[in-house]
């Protein structure tokens, strides 16, 4: 499990000239820990415009919420391992309703989310590419390189340059997403990724066998 402390935005998002990059206030782009004051500020933001990314039957007996970051290596491992089996064996069969909620450790994680959310109907397809190609698009960690790599993924997914420009320059949406993340993290006491909330009960990262056992127990199987 990724033990990095969840960090949040505090300061205006600024479109960097000519680069299509967001930068946050604070030293070296770092973001402060979630505190009472910031939580209160986030609580005052209207996040009703944020689309909840979900798949599976709304009537499924089990609801599983995954809190994850596109820059988290353990989240990538979960995605291609337990996450893939969860989808094929439980979500696609109508037993589990799956909800994905973003966690923002850093700016690249936010940018990746904004690219994926640029087309809600393509979200899970783009998310799959982001996790499977995580090392490649993060590359050497340079902001301009990361931004261009994310644009390439967006183009492969069928997004136009105009769509990508619009999504990545939407500072209001970025601020709303950060506030939405803060509200969710506070409500479910999320402090690491991946974290799972299964029928209201929080769990840490786990193996497929352990996850399957928990789901089966909640299904009464």
Rounded CA separation 161/23 (Å): 21
Q: What pLDDT does residue 80 have?
A: 96
Q: Which of 103, 104, 130, 113 is nearest to 168 (CA)?
A: 113
Percent of the chain with pLDDT strictly greater than 90: 66
Q: What pLDDT does residue 38 have?
A: 56
Count the alpha carbons within 13 Å of 67 in the hemisphere toward its beta carbon. 29
Q: What confidence tens digit (pLDDT) does each residue in 155-174 have?
A: 999 999 999 999 988 888 88
Q: Which residues of 86-100 are buried (b: 16+ CB within 10 A; e: fewer)?
A: bbeebbeeebbbbeb
Query: What is the overall mean pLDDT for the chain?
Result: 83
**Residue 40 banded pLDDT, cuts 50, 70, 90:** low
Q: Where are the domains of the chain?
A: 14-219
pLDDT of residue 23 exceeding 90, the answer is no
Q: What confidence tens digit (pLDDT) does each residue in 105-120 have?
A: 888 999 999 999 999 9
Q: What pLDDT does residue 7 have?
A: 38
Do 175 and 188 touch, CB atoms closer than 8 A?
no
> What is the CATH topology of the domain spanning 14-219?
Glutaredoxin (3.40.30)
Q: Which of 64, 57, 70 is nearest to 85 (CA)?
A: 64
Q: Cα-flanking dihedrals φ and ψ of residue 145, to 5°?
A: -65, -45
Q: What confidence tens digit (pLDDT) does each residue in 59-98 have?
A: 999 999 999 999 999 999 999 999 999 999 999 999 999 9
pTM of the model as a whole: 0.83
């Amino acid at each position: 499990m990724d033990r990095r402390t969840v960090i949040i935005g505090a300061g205006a998002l600024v479109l960097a000239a000519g680069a299509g990059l967001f930068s946050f206030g604070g030293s070296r782009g770092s973001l402060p820990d979630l505190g009472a004051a910031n939580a209160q500020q986030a609580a005052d933001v209207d996040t009703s415009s944020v689309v909840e990314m979900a798949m599976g039957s709304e009537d499924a007996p089990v609801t599983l919420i995954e809190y994850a970051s596109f820059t988290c290596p353990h989240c990538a491992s979960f995605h291609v391992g337990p996450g893939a089996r969860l989808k094929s064996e439980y979500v696609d069969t109508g037993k589990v309703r799956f909800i994905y909620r973003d966690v923002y450790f850093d700016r690249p994680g936010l940018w990746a989310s904004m690219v994926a959310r640029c087309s809600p109907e393509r979200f899970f397809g783009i998310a799959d590419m982001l996790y499977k190609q995580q090392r490649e698009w993060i590359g050497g960690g340079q902001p301009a390189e990361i931004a261009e790599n994310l644009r390439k993924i967006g183009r492969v997914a069928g997004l136009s340059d105009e769509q990508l420009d619009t999504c990545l320059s939407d500072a209001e949406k970025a601020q709303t997403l950060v506030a939405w993340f803060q509200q969710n993290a506070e409500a479910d006491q999320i402090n690491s990724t991946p974290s799972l909330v299964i029928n209201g009960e929080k769990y840490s990262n786990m193996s497929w066998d352990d996850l399957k056992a928990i789901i089966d127990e909640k299904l009464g199987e």
